[in-house]
Amino acid sequence: MAKRVRENWRRLMLMGLVLSVVLTLGVGTAQAAKKRQSIEIAAANKATFMLMPELPNDNLGGNQLGYFNLRVKKDQTRTVRIKVFNPTKHTIKIYGQVKDATTNDNASVDYLGSNLNDRQLLKQPGSQFVTVPKMTTLAAGATKYIPVKVEIGNNFNGVKATAVNLTANQFNQKSAIKNAYRYAIGLILNGEGLKKRDYHYLQSPSIKTRFTKAKKAAISVELVNPDAMYLEKATINVKLQNQKWHFVQYEQSIKDGKIAPNTRFYVDLLLGGKRLVPGTYDMTLTTRNRRYNKTLHKQVLITESQAKYINRLNAAYLRNRNLILGSLVIVLVLLVGISLRIYYIRKRKKD
């Protein structure tokens, strides 16, 4: 019987009903949720445990999705379940956490808590509304349902993007090392619809030079999504054009990017071994997605080691600095000359 159960579970996984270790969600509102998501299935012989979300009938986008996509209201409490199965010969402990979705650098969504949340952008995280048992003990060959409780207090606008993270250790009889496997099951909470007049649009508060996590030199443009909505299939183009030397420019394009609600991240313009050329630059940042098109223009000052935004008055000053300084010197010389002449004229009259 246990063998037959294990085989049935493996078939379910191969049919795509089991969520992958790393979620590839690109979800937003109910309309976006109707599109089927691609799911990478962990190999059954490597998985510590198997799982399948029990999607409710009112799941936005239907039951074919591999994640929860719920419409929620003020003062509402409901519970959904995740079915877990232990195919091993050992009792395992499954540890549960709820993480808020963030955006990785260069526009991909993370559901595993790899990045810190910005509480200034996400003042009321969706994880505050969701609870899951911290630990579930699952005997060998056993099946259980892990409850996920959603409790909404005050209403909210837009989307809260979270994921239930379930983690367990894999037993390896040939080694003392235990590999930890983590599964992320998306849990998207949809509040009141966000109207276009309430959009704050994608913003860029800063720019800097740095070494990326891959130890590559880059000019990194910080982007902020201040709105409680996903920006899906986003195309991001960034171009820095030197104002004096037109052949000097830095550029980066991202296609099919995914940006989580209320998050910040960086787009890296890799130098690729090129020398950082100091000067004043015009930056054009264009973002296109299914919700809106947005173009930002900024003035950038790049030194030998750093980059920063400057206002247009500063940029005009830098472009004409030598002319301005020369004019000031001439005016100063004339003023000194006039003052000296007046002094000598008065001195002669006094004598």
Domain co-membership, 90 together with 220: no
Q: What is the chain's mean pLDDT, rounded?
A: 83
Domain co-membership, 160 together with 214: no
**Encoded tokens for 107:** 């526009």
pLDDT tens per residue across span 165-178? 999 987 665 555 56
Q: At residue 188, does pLDDT exceed 80?
A: yes
pTM as predicted: 0.76
Domain co-membership, 97 together with 20: yes
Collect all residues with Cβ–Cβ distance below 8 Å to 138 and sequence separation of at least 6: 49, 84, 85, 86, 91, 92, 93, 94, 144
> Can you give the CATH number for the domain in which 143 is found?
2.60.40.10
- For the chain, the C-alpha Rg in angstroms (whole number) is 29
Domain co-membership, 131 together with 188: yes
Percent of the chain with pLDDT over 70: 78
Domain co-membership, 335 together with 249: no
Task: Kindly state the average pLDDT of the residues 316-335.
Answer: 66
Q: At residue 296, does pLDDT exceed 60?
A: yes
Percent of the chain with pLDDT over 90: 62
Domain co-membership, 179 together with 206: no
List the domain range (segments joined by +) for residue 184.
2-193
Domain co-membership, 45 together with 132: yes
Predicted local distance difference test score (pLDDT) of residue 173: 53
Helices (H), the chain: 2-14, 30-33, 312-319, 321-350
Q: How many CB atoms lie within 10 A of CB 169?
A: 16
pLDDT tens per residue across span 18-68? 344 334 343 333 333 333 333 333 334 455 789 999 999 999 988 888 899
Domain co-membership, 163 together with 249: no
Predicted local distance difference test score (pLDDT) of residue 336: 74
Domain co-membership, 231 together with 113: no
Mark which of 175, 193, 211 sits at the end of a domain: 193
Predicted local distance difference test score (pLDDT) of residue 25: 41
Q: At residue 248, does pLDDT exceed 60?
A: yes
| Mode of pairing for the β-strands spanning 68-71 and 179-190 | parallel
Mark which of 150, 177, 193 sits at the end of a domain: 193
Predicted local distance difference test score (pLDDT) of residue 3: 52
Segment holding 251, helix H or strand E? strand 249-259
Confidence bin at 136 (pLDDT 50/70/90): very high
Q: How many domains does the chain have?
A: 3
Mark which of 137, 166, 193 sits at the end of a domain: 193
- Return the higher-pLDDT residue of 87 and 11: 87
